[in-house]
Amino acid sequence: MSRPVVFLCFFAVFCCKFYSQHTFVRNDSIKVFSGAGTLLNPWAGGINSTQFSSLDVDLDGIKDIVTFDKGSFKIRCFKNTGSANFTRYKHAPQFENFPEVTDWVLFKDYNNDGYEDLFTYTTGGVRVYKNTSATAGSLHFTLAYNLLYSDYQPAGPGPYILNLYVSPVGLPGLVDMDNDGDLDILTFSVFGTQIEYHENRAIELGLPLDSLKFFMVDNCWGDFSENTCSSNLNICPLFKKWQNVQNPAMKSNLHAGSCLMCLDNDGDGDQDVILGDISCDSVEFFRNGGSIANAHADTTSKSYPIAKPVKMPYFPCTYYVDTDNDGVRDLLVSPNITPASENFQSVWRFKNSGTDSNPLFTFLENNFLQDSMIDVGEGAYPAMVDENGDGLLDLVVGNYGYFNNPNYNSRLALLRNTGTAALPQFSLITRNYSSLGSFNIQNMAPAFGDLDGDGDADMLIGDYGGQLTYFENVAGMGNTANYVFSSSFYKSIDAGNNAMPQIVDVDRDGKNDILIGGRDGKVRYYKNTGTSTVPNFSSTATSAFLGGVNVSRPGYITGFAAPCLMDVNGSYELLVGCERGYLYRFTNVDLNLTGNFTLVDSIGWGISDGSKIAPAVGNINNDGMPDMILGNFCGGLSYYAGDSLLSGIQIHFNEEEISLYPNPAFSELTLSFENKTYSQRQINIIDLSGRIVKTLRTNLPVVKIDLGDVSGGMYFIQYKTNSGIEGSKRFIVSK
């Protein structure tokens, strides 16, 4: 290893040499300490604006908790490892293989088989996936209804069948309203001021429980309207059910956003409602003083729960989930909008010391699950550096900020490696490293490397406006870093918006250069035209479109590129995180800085970890393999250890070249094998739990695989030839 590469490895600017046969395996084993305790779920990935449901993820008969983050569109599973009246949830990423979902997700058992089904938004309303885990033998969902429909004039000359409208912004109430054994729906109308009651008449019509047959029986349920944090009781007309109905497909943009949670708050057998609104920081409770058949809200309160009314910016929504294994559901509250909402202490938990049908809520905490993980608010941008000169890689994590209504406070957090070279562990030392919060830099993205040739790691911080702030380390080599402000607009560099820098010797001339990822999805290269001790950079990028890399979604103008250049067996590979949560992997970098890099994979190593992911790579555990820390939009981190195994499926390199496309795939996947001579191949499609979902045998070099019956999610293609050659690749089914 040459001196420059050794030097860069020491400062962990992600340019270390690693073995060529590498992959990354999710690993939650590294301990992290915060205060006096050990975090139970340090690498779970953070929580911002989260929706909660109960779901038995491992089919052990015990209800676990699943979360869906509104900002990242990421479902996370937390296995219930507690006991009666004891709360303990362990992050279980091995079960996070769900269909593709968006905007909102609720799990409710609609067919009374004991398995919660998946309800999510789709254009115009609601999509439903049936939980088929009982027959599959592991957690599995099958599309049951691509779009729910309802008869909007069941008492009229109809039927008048339209899509059952639910806003992508809010949340419906999914509950058995009439106690007949099937699941009904409350949702706001397209005008967003009154609640519609869609009754499921599957039972009444003698249909199987798998049926969802809806009729809108009340277009002003509860006889009230809601608008911008205010409500009006007794406003519905006498013959409200006979009013003309607006086509929800034609008015899908009118509803601002409200969330509904149904519960029997007073034990009278009918459903009351807790309502959250997009422009409010409190929730409003509506008591149903009527009956099951004729709901009528006779009282309302914005001070709910009474013991400690919810006060959370903005758009707090409520969830009824048993969190402490006492058989009674508790109340969880979290924002349902992002950004511009609470993002650090954003999950309030109230214990229910009453019953399901007559609850008594007592406030317990404002950071349920969050207190068990690394969470730096909104956005997490990790960098590795030996901050205190002990030879161990530490983590400095920047963020977009902690929400402090109406502003964000951006900070750097220091997680110092207090373990050993072979057994790392981290301790959270501070959330305001070097007191840099006082500089009021918005969206702090740190990068480390020696820019002045004095043997220690200097620091650049990229910001929201696309500029760099330079802090010189004056401590000297081997000492704990001491950063002194040097320049607020370093070298007049302006990379657009959301600068994500990396300090690295891009052209291998012995001088550190600068890479900057930007909001536009591109990576910019700034060559050091000075010396190793007196650097110089032009304000104009040497390459404003390095390698032809653009990680923006087709048809979109934003990509939020986060580059990480690493040396693999003497050759550079470029990893780029992006807004969609995919990790792009490029090769053909060396001696090609004016050409186009080769895209190896748009979901590198099968990793999809929320949105706006930012990679940092270095050898944390001294095993000679690259390890990776991923930051994400939710303000959390994930740890991926370098290895040659992934999810128990061995990856074979350089055996037989195979390409697959498109990736992500929707209805069909094409495989193309380079070697045309093998007479027979067996091909398996395997999900993340190791279950074979599809298998076939073929002697064709190009194979098209129908994915019509394969749920959305992440999968492996595993193949084996008649000559014993085998291998695998990862892909995503997008539905």
Distances (CA, A) of 534 to 453, 508, 515: 8, 17, 18
Average pLDDT score, the chain: 89
Condensed to tens digits (0 to 9), the pLDDT of residues 702-734 reads 889 999 888 877 788 888 776 666 677 778 787
pLDDT at 289: 95
Going by pLDDT thresholds of 50, 70 and 90, the confidence category of residue 319 is very high
Going by pLDDT thresholds of 50, 70 and 90, the confidence category of residue 370 is very high
Going by pLDDT thresholds of 50, 70 and 90, the confidence category of residue 137 is confident
pLDDT at 696: 86
Mean pLDDT over 193-207 rounds to 95
652-733 and 47-372 share a CATH fold: no
pLDDT at 519: 98
Distances (CA, A) of 235 to 177, 222, 232, 240, 280: 22, 10, 7, 10, 22
Residue 647 has pLDDT above 50, yes or no: no
Mean pLDDT over 379-396 rounds to 97
pLDDT at 733: 81
- Least Cα distance to 618 among 585, 641, 591, 587 occurs for 641
593, two tokens: 């800085």
For residue 125, the Cα-to-chain-centroid distance in whole angstroms is 22
Condensed to tens digits (0 to 9), the pLDDT of residues 477-522 reads 999 999 999 999 999 999 999 999 999 999 999 999 999 999 999 9
Going by pLDDT thresholds of 50, 70 and 90, the confidence category of residue 3 is very low
Rounded Cα distance between 267 and 133, Å, is 34
- Least Cα distance to 605 among 597, 615, 596, 595 occurs for 615
Residue 136 has pLDDT above 50, yes or no: yes
For residue 611, the Cα-to-chain-centroid distance in whole angstroms is 5
Mean pLDDT over 457-465 rounds to 98
Q: Which CATH architecture group holds 3-27+374-646? A: 5 Propeller (2.115)
Residue 6 has pLDDT above 50, yes or no: no
| Residues in CB range of 270: below 8 A, 6 or more apart | 264, 288, 290, 291, 292, 295
Quick one: fold of 652-733? Immunoglobulin-like (2.60.40)
pLDDT at 443: 98
**More confident position, 274 or 690:** 274
Rounded Cα distance between 46 and 374, Å, is 6
Mean pLDDT over 225-247 rounds to 64
Condensed to tens digits (0 to 9), the pLDDT of residues 673-709 reads 776 555 578 888 887 656 778 888 888 888 899 998 8
Buried b (16+ CB within 10 A) or exposed e, 634-644: bbbbbbbbbbe
pLDDT at 657: 66
Condensed to tens digits (0 to 9), the pLDDT of residues 548-566 reads 999 998 888 999 999 999 9
Mean pLDDT over 597-611 rounds to 85
**More confident position, 208 or 245:** 208
Buried b (16+ CB within 10 A) or exposed e, 656-675: bebebeebbbeeebebebee
For residue 462, the Cα-to-chain-centroid distance in whole angstroms is 23
Dihedral sign, Cα of residue 80, residue 82, residue 86, residue 89: negative
584 touches 572 (CB < 8 A) = no
**More confident position, 676 or 118:** 118
706 touches 667 (CB < 8 A) = yes
| Residues in CB range of 364: below 8 A, 6 or more apart | 349, 350, 351
670, two tokens: 């094409």
Rounded Cα distance between 518 and 147, Å, is 37
Mean pLDDT over 169-174 rounds to 96
Quick one: fold of 47-372? Tachylectin-2; Chain A (2.115.10)
3-class SS of residue 255:
coil
Mean pLDDT over 336-347 rounds to 93
Domain ranges within the chain, ordered by starting residue = 3-27+374-646, 47-372, 652-733
**More confident position, 131 or 656:** 131
361 touches 305 (CB < 8 A) = yes
- Least Cα distance to 563 among 575, 571, 545, 550 occurs for 575
Percent of the chain having pLDDT more than 70?
A: 90
Distances (CA, A) of 522 to 546, 553, 557, 665: 7, 12, 10, 24
Going by pLDDT thresholds of 50, 70 and 90, the confidence category of residue 568 is confident
pLDDT at 679: 59
Condensed to tens digits (0 to 9), the pLDDT of residues 175-185 reads 999 999 999 99
Burial of 31 (0-12, 13-18, 19+ CB in 10 A): middle
Residue 66 has pLDDT above 90, yes or no: yes
pLDDT at 91: 96
**More confident position, 476 or 1:** 476
pLDDT at 208: 92
The two most distant CA atoms of the chain are separated, in Å, by 84
Beta bridge partners of 358: 355
Beta bridge partners of 714: 732
**More confident position, 46 or 568:** 46
Rounded Cα distance between 410 and 393, Å, is 23
Going by pLDDT thresholds of 50, 70 and 90, the confidence category of residue 8 is very low
